[in-house]
């Protein structure tokens, strides 16, 4: 939506210019992310606590939080890698000017990555359900 607004107002190649967008454009994304995060954190803590042996219950919860930190580092690595690869192939997806960037491609890449992750999750869950607790 941001690129369309920038193109409609002729602001694609201009830097330092404010787009006529309201902050409430971001509201649906942040509400959805907040709800998803609330479900994820609780489910992940429960999983690590439930699946850990009795002597490692407290360690399981710390693994849950460690996975968040690893995810943040992995996200930064992916951002840098995608930026370098797309700049080598021509017009980069992540540029200094947001109006010229193709963040829609970047987020589509993450959507595809999440789909692959979900498919792998289903495979792992299938194998976990075959083992007794």
The answer to whether 67 and 44 have CB atoms below 8 angstroms apart is yes
What is the model's pLDDT at position 28? 92
Does position 118 have pLDDT exceeding 90, yes or no? yes
Q: pTM, whole model, 2 decimals?
A: 0.71
Determine the Cα–Cα distance for residues 56 and 54; give it in Å rounded to an integer.
Answer: 5
Mean pLDDT, the chain, rounded, equals 85
What is the model's pLDDT at position 133? 58
Determine the Cα–Cα distance for residues 43 and 60; give it in Å rounded to an integer.
Answer: 13
Q: Who wins on pLDDT, 127 or 121?
A: 121
Q: Who wins on pLDDT, 133 or 32?
A: 32
Number of Cβ atoms within 10 Å of the Cβ of 37: 10
The answer to whether 3 and 105 have CB atoms below 8 angstroms apart is no
What is the model's pLDDT at position 53? 80
H-assigned helices in 1-133: 2-8, 27-51, 57-88, 103-129
What is the model's pLDDT at position 19? 80
- Print the domain residue range for 21: 2-129
Does position 10 have pLDDT exceeding 90, yes or no? no
Residue 98 backbone phi and psi in degrees, to 5 = -60, -30
CA neighbours within 13 Å on the CB side: how many for 33?
5
The pLDDT tens digits of the residues spanning 75-117 come to 999 999 999 999 988 888 988 887 888 888 999 999 999 999 9
What is the model's pLDDT at position 130? 65
The pLDDT tens digits of the residues spanning 53-63 come to 888 877 877 88
Number of domains forming the structure of the chain: 1
């Amino acid at each position: 939506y941001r690129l369309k607004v920038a193109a409609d107002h002729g602001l694609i190649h201009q830097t330092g210019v404010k787009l006529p967008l309201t902050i409430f454009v971001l509201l649906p994304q942040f509400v959805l992310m907040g709800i998803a995060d609330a479900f994820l954190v609780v489910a992940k803590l429960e999983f690590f606590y439930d699946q850990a042996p009795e002597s490692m219950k407290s360690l399981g919860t710390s693994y849950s939080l460690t996975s968040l930190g690893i995810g943040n580092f992995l996200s930064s690595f992916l951002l840098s890698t995608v930026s370098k690869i797309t700049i080598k192939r021509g017009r980069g997806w992540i540029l200094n000017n947001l109006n010229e960037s193709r963040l829609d491609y970047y987020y589509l890449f993450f959507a595809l990555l999440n789909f692959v992750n979900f498919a792998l999750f289903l495979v792992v869950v299938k194998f976990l359900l075959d083992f007794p607790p």
